[in-house]
């Protein structure tokens, strides 16, 4: 649908070159024509084709299935081929936590930059090797082993299908906040891939996998911020997969990790008192020495009012009986992990 | 320089399946890909993969449907082999972990596809290619296939009609390298990007076929280009035939179905060439809107659409702004698949260059002849990836490939290096931008060499080819740097695409009949007496032009495969 006088807007691209191992980045503005169907990828192609062939980005399928063109557009990681110019300009985006947390850019300007949490090679191209190295670490293939089930049914792959939508574009990895704090964190895409195998009835080493995933930089390093769910262009919801892996790991008795102990302490507190008791949780999670080591942190937090009253026994929680009844009910009728975590988006506890 | 037993160019389904054979046979196997393997266009295949798995089905019927779909110019020995091997090839993938959709009893589910007498298309929801590609990539990791990620093919090298390897460029650094190999396999897919409206990835520029032609391995069947009936109107993005398999209608601007006029039995599920011609005829007669017609799934109901066609619905919403639950989807015939490729024997080795193999869309084995059946392309990749892979292993272990051929890597690299330097040195002043060459070429191909062709149209297309070749000699690039020079890559891809377009127009001019996807309004009938043959297209480095030849269709003598009128 071409119009006679196409509208134009500014495409602000964060360009970068690496010279002698040092990255130098600078914004460059281009004026691009657009209509109702122009995508950010189309705009980038326009710039490369008509104005500056040296503009560098990855792209291939144009149909949001190959995963080449994930980049940061107006603060969020997305596929350029799936992101329409008018939707960005018109603020036509679904309102969600991630969008609200990102500063709104200048009006009538589309800001494009390379993915985060990965080294930039040139302009919008990042080094994808570290990302794939982590995916390979989870041994991404169905393994023979004692837990292999021979029977497959119509519903056997319902969980597999949820995560096997993943196109490995890296958008979740780019927007992962846990990665910022801990670059060794294996990341949402690799963990979603891991869940693809753990939930496959044909997989032979499910428990072994859960043990590995429970180790440092694995499932317990996710902060459950939910950014990966918002970033994913294919609806994979990596964080949900992570939550399910945690539940499965605990069900399998893999409870020696700080993450698992923390989760159990959390549950114990709620079931017992109806509220959290941070000092005791710390003790249960990290042990006596670990807890002592955290005292300076705790004092700092207490100073700025971030720790509630340290003595839990003063609390009288209303409705504690109801909380206890819920736990008793859950004990009688345990939920299937796979459905239990289905609605575990940000803020769902 | 690096040495491998087997070097495979292209990391889509065919390439990775061939690599699986090489590496599990204990050979040093490397795969070269200009994009990460998971970005390969195999991932975009939605509908499924044909195989006579169901006990009520019979691979002979599948083979007959394929011979007929090919309009009787497919090679019958290859077709028989593909259809007989199909069930095992699908079960192989299943065993590797591919999550194929299931029936209630756990058997692999199958759906109906066009041009076939049985619902024999296995699938993984509506992302079958994606599921299969991820599975084969997983196997490549498991078995340690050496992958040259983001390396671009610059030249296939040969000595005395024997393939010796490939000169490749590390895109990340711009460095050139000669990979020596005892067997080389081209699995770089097709070249559908030569048409303005296409379902192809931007990377589908026929690189491997063009380089094989330059190295002395002719292509064949280049005139046969498949126009898929249902590309999205604006973007050309594919809407799978599986949607019609689920019961979707094609309707005109008048809101009525029209396929009963053209294919009274199979209706929307007639062969793709038949459906595409019907749609263009309707559009030409004024029953279209904005140059397209509509694919209507509303009667299938929300529940089925959400369960079986979620990806399709998303594509229609993202790229056409239409929710198929409420509105019909605007579609038009769109270049989808190129039946032509490197002409090979029935196991996938070039008919002219020893040690050069081809598999998948880059090959012309030829199992598709003049028209490919839906869901036979994924099948070709996994059957011939496997068969050609095994033949390469045999070639390397037991045949001529045992002895490598001495080859001068330094010279090979220097030659390529000089070519790049010359391209970078071209001045902007008086030069031509690659985008203008591409735009002129793809519009001309769309207008004059697509669903309907005739002499006048093809002459016009031929002039455009000459103009494009002239443009290539003046084409300049803006980016002169070494690292990640995608400006250079797209320029080199353009050189490949123009050669493929030259071959396509030349063979379309040569074939004076209508067969399968090749429809000449000036020669409207099939002419078995003169044209039951493949037309080959080689490259003459002296004249820098395509040279045509003939290669016989391989006939098995099965009387059922005798040419008959194609009715659906």
For B381-385, what is the mean pLDDT?
98
In this predicted structure, which of B8-17, B22-31, B112-121, B506-515 has the lowest mean pLDDT? Answer: B112-121
CA distance B221 to chain A (A): 25
pLDDT tens, B358-378? 999 999 999 999 999 999 999
Q: What is the pLDDT of residue A156?
A: 87
Asked if residue B199 and residue B133 are part of one domain, the reply reads yes
Contact call for B125 and A161, based on CB within 8 A: yes
Question: Are B28 and B164 part of one and the same domain?
Answer: yes
- Contact A159/B at CB under 8 A: no
CATH of the domain at B136: 3.50.50.60
Express as a percent the part of chain B with pLDDT over 90.
92
Q: Is A154 on the interface with B (CB under 8 A)?
A: yes
Cα separations (Å) of B530 from A85, B527, B533? 53, 6, 8
What does the alpha-carbon distance between residue B387 and residue B185 come to, in Å, rounded to a whole number?
12
The residue range of the domain holding B505 is 428-552
Q: Are residues B457 and B347 in the same domain?
A: no
Chain-chain contact of A63 with B44 (C-beta, under 8 angstroms)? yes
Q: Is residue B418 part of a domain?
A: no
Nearest CA to CA, how far is B560 from chain A (Å)? 38
B118 part of a folded domain? no
Tell me if A60 and B484 make a contact (CB, 8 A cut-off): no
B474-500 average pLDDT score: 98
- A152 to chain B, any CB pair closer than 8 A? The answer is yes
The whole-number pLDDT of residue A101 equals 40
Tokens of B161: 């009609």
Divide the 349 residues of chain A into consecutive groups of 10 and give the mean pLDDT of each group: 70 96 97 92 98 98 95 97 92 46 66 98 98 98 95 88 93 97 97 97 97 96 96 95 96 91 85 78 81 82 73 66 85 68 38
pLDDT of residue B1: 85
**Does residue B557 lie within any of the structural domains?**
no
Q: Do B365 and B315 share a domain, yes or no?
A: no
Among A60, A64, A82, most B C-beta atoms within 10 A, so best to mutate, is A60
Q: Are B435 and A49 in contact (CB < 8 Å)?
A: yes
**pTM of the predicted model as reported, rounded to 2 decimal places:** 0.92
Q: What is the pLDDT of residue A294?
A: 82
Any chain A CB within 8 A of the CB of B125?
Answer: yes
B360 is a domain residue: yes
pLDDT reading at B435 higher than 80: yes
| pLDDT tens per residue, range B218-235 | 999 999 999 999 999 988
Q: What is the ipTM of this complex?
A: 0.94
Q: In angstroms, what is the C-alpha Rg of chain B?
A: 22
B43-52 pLDDT, tens per residue?
Answer: 999 889 999 9
In a domain, B322, yes or no: yes
Q: How far is A260 from chain B (nearest CA, A)?
A: 30
B448 and B547 in a common domain: yes
Domain-embedded: residue B537: yes
Q: Is B428 part of the contact surface with chain A (CB cutoff 8 Å)?
A: no
Given B281, B309, B335, the domain boundary residue is B335
B306 CB within 8 Å of a chain A CB: no
Q: What is the CA radius of gyration of chain A?
A: 24
Distances (CA, A) of A328 to A315, A319, A321, A343: 22, 14, 10, 21
Taking the C-alpha atoms of B34, B372, B523 and B444 in order, what is their torsion angle to the nearest 10 degrees? -30
pLDDT band at B319 (very low <50, low <70, confident <90, very high): confident
**B35 close to A (CB below 8 A):** yes
Which CATH number belongs to the domain containing residue B517 in this structure? 1.20.58.100
Q: Which residue of A has its CA nearest to B434?
A: A49
In this structure, are B191 and B234 located in the same domain? Answer: no
Whole-number average pLDDT of chain B: 96
**Between A53, A142, A157, which is nearest B478 by CB?**
A53
Q: Which residues of B touch A37 (CB under 8 A)?
A: 234-235, 319, 321
Does B41 share its domain with B170?
yes
A123 by DSSP, 3-state: which? coil
Same domain? B40 vs B151: yes
Task: Indicate if B234 and B219 belong to the same structural domain.
Answer: no
Is residue B354 included in any domain, yes or no?
Answer: yes
Query: What's the rounded Cα separation, in Å, for the pair A200 and A156?
Result: 7
Mutate to test the interface with B, among A164, A165, A193, A233 (most CBs of B within 10 A): A164
Co-location of B208 and B235 in the same domain: no
CA distance B389 to chain A (A): 21
A95 or B556, higher pLDDT:
B556
CA distance A189 to chain B (A): 14
Total residues belonging to chain B: 568
Contacts of residue A67 in chain B, CB cutoff 8 Å?
Answer: 38-39
* Number of domains, chain B: 3
pLDDT-derived band at B126, boundaries 50, 70, 90? confident
Asked whether residue B76 is domain-assigned, the answer is no
**Within this chain, do residues B350 and B298 fall inside the same structural domain, yes or no?**
no
* Main-chain phi, psi angles of A297, to 5 degrees: -60, -45
DSSP B154-218: EEEEEETTEEEEEEEEETTT--EEEEEEEEEEE-----GGGSSSB-S-TT-S-HHHHHHHHHT--
Residue B182 shares a structural domain with residue B242: no
Query: Which residue on chain A is closest to B480 by alpha carbon?
Result: A54
Q: What is the CATH number of the domain that holds B295?
A: 3.90.700.10
């Amino acid at each position: 649908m071409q119009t006679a006088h196409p509208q134009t807007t500014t495409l602000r691209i964060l360009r970068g070159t690496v010279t002698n191992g040092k990255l130098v980045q600078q914004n460059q503005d281009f004026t691009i024509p657009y209509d109702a169907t122009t995508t950010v990828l189309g705009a980038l192609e326009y710039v490369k084709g008509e104005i500056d062939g040296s503009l560098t980005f990855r792209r291939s399928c144009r149909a949001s299935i190959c995963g080449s063109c994930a980049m940061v557009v107006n603060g969020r990681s997305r596929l350029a081929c799936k992101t329409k110019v008018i939707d960005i300009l018109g603020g036509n985006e679904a309102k969600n936590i991630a969008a609200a947390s990102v500063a709104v850019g200048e009006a009538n300007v589309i800001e494009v930059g390379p993915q985060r949490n990965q080294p930039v090679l040139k302009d919008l191209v990042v080094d994808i090797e570290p990302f794939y190295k982590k995916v390979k670490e989870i041994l991404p293939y169905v393994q023979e082993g004692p837990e292999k089930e021979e029977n497959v049914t119509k519903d056997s792959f319902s969980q597999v299908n949820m995560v096997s939508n993943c196109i490995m574009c890296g958008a979740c990895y780019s927007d992962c906040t846990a990665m910022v704090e801990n670059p060794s964190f294996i990341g949402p895409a690799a963990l979603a891939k891991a869940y693809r195998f753990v939930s496959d009835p044909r997989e032979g080493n499910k428990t072994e996998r859960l043990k590995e995933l429970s180790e440092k930089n694995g499932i317990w390093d996710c902060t459950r911020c939910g950014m990966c769910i918002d970033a994913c262009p294919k609806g994979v919801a990596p964080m949900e997969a992570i939550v399910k892996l945690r539940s499965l790991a605990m069900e399998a008795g893999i409870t020696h990790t700080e993450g698992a102990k923390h989760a159990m302490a959390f549950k114990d507190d709620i079931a017992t008192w109806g509220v959290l008791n941070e000092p005791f949780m710390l003790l249960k999670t990290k042990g006596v020495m670990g807890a002592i080591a955290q005292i300076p942190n705790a004092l700092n937090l207490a100073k700025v009012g971030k720790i509630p009253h340290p003595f839990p026994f003063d609390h009288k929680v209303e409705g504690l009986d109801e909380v206890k009844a819920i736990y008793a009910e859950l004990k009688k009728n345990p939920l299937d992990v796979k459905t239990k975590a289905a609605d575990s988006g940000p803020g769902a506890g | 320089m690096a040495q491998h037993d087997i070097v495979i160019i292209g990391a889509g389904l065919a390439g990775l399946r061939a690599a699986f054979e090489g590496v599990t046979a204990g050979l040093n196997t490397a795969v070269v890909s200009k994009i990460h393997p998971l970005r390969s266009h195999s991932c975009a295949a939605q509908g499924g993969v044909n195989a006579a798995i169901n006990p009520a089905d019979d691979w002979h019927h599948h083979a007959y449907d394929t011979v007929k779909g090919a309009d009787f110019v497919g090679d019958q020995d290859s077709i028989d082999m593909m259809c007989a091997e199909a069930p095992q090839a699908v079960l192989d993938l299943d065993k590797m972990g591919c999550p194929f959709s299931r029936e209630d009893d756990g058997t692999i589910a199958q759906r109906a596809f066009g041009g076939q007498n049985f619902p024999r298309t296995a699938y993984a929801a509506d992302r079958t290619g994606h599921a299969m590609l991820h599975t084969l990539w997983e196997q490549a990791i498991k078995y340690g296939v050496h992958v040259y990620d983001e390396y671009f093919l610059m030249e296939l090298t040969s000595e005395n009609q024997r393939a010796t390897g490939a000169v490749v460029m590390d895109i990340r650094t711009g460095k050139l390298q000669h990979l020596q190999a005892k067997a080389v396999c081209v699995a770089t897919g097709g070249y559908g990007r030569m048409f303005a409206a296409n379902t192809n990835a931007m990377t589908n520029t026929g690189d491997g076929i063009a380089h094989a032609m330059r190295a002395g391995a002719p292509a064949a069947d280049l005139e046969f280009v498949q126009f898929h009936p249902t590309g999205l109107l604006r973007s050309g993005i594919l809407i799978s035939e599986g949607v019609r398999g689920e019961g979707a209608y094609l309707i005109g601007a008048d809101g009525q179905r029209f396929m009963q006029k053209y294919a009274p039995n199979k209706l929307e599920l007639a062969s793709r060439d038949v459906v595409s011609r019907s749609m263009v005829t309707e559009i030409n007669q004024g029953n279209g809107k904005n140059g397209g017609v509509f694919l209507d799934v509303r009667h299938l109901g929300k529940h089925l659409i959400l369960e079986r066609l979620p990806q399709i619905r998303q594509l229609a919403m993202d790229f056409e702004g239409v929710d198929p639950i409420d509105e019909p989807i605007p579609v038009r015939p769109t270049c989808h698949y190129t039946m032509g490729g490197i002409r090979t024997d029935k196991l996938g080795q070039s008919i002219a260059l020893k040690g050069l193999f081809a598999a998948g869309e880059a090959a012309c084995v030829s199992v598709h002849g003049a028209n490919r059946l839906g869901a036979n392309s994924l099948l070709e990749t996994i059957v011939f990836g496997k068969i050609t892979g095994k033949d390469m292993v045999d070639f390397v272990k037991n045949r001529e490939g045992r002895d490598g051929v001495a080859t001068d890597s330094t010279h090979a690299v220097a030659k390529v290096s000089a070519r790049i330097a010359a391209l970078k040195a071209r001045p902007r002043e008086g030069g031509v931008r690659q985008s203008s060459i591409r735009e002129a070429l793809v519009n001309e191909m769309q207008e004059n060499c697509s669903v309907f062709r005739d002499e006048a149209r093809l002459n016009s297309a031929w002039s455009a080819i000459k103009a494009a070749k002239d443009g290539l000699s003046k084409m300049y690039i803006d980016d002169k740097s070494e690292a990640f020079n995608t400006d250079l890559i797209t320029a080199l891809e353009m050189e490949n695409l123009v050669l493929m377009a030259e071959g396509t127009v030349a063979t379309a001019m040569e074939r004076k009949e209508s067969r399968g996807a090749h429809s000449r309004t000036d020669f409207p009938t099939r002419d078995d007496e003169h044209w039951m043959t493949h037309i080959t297209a080689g490259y003459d480095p002296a004249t820098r032009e395509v040279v045509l030849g003939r290669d016989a269709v391989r006939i098995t003598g099965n009387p059922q495969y005798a040419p008959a009128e194609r009715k659906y």
